Copies of this chain bind each other. A is one copy, B any other.
Amino acid sequence: MTVDRDRVLRSAAALLTRKATATMDEVAKAAGIGRATLHRHFAGRDALIKALEELGLRELDAALDAARLDEDTATEALRRLIAESESAAGLFAFLITENQLFEDQQNEGWDRVDARIAALFRRGQESGEFRIDLGPAWLTDALYGLVTSAAWSIQDGRTAGNDYQHMIVELLLGGVRRSVEK
Contacts and interface: CB of A to CB of B under 8 A. Distances in A.
Interface of A: 18-21, 75, 97, 99-100, 103, 121, 124, 128-135, 137-139, 141-142, 144-146, 148-150, 152-153, 158-159, 163, 166-167, 170-181
**For the complex formed by this chain, how many copies does it contain in all?**
2
Contact of A149 (B144, B158, B170, B179): B144
19 contacts: A19-B99, A75-B177, A128-B178, A129-B177, A130-B178, A131-B176, A132-B178, A134-B176, A135-B159, A138-B150, A138-B153, A138-B159, A139-B176, A141-B150, A141-B152, A141-B159, A145-B150, A172-B176, A181-B181
A89 to B, nearest CB: 12
Contact of A138 (B137, B167, B174): B167
Q: Is chain A's interface secondary structure helix, strand, loop, or mixed overall?
A: helix
A100 B20 CA distance: 8
Contact of A177 (B103, B149, B173): B173
Given A174-B177, A176-B124, A138 B163 contact: yes
Given A137-B158, A145-B148, A146-B146, 12 more contacts: A75-B177, A129-B178, A131-B176, A141-B152, A142-B171, A144-B149, A145-B146, A145-B149, A174-B175, A174-B177, A175-B175, A175-B176
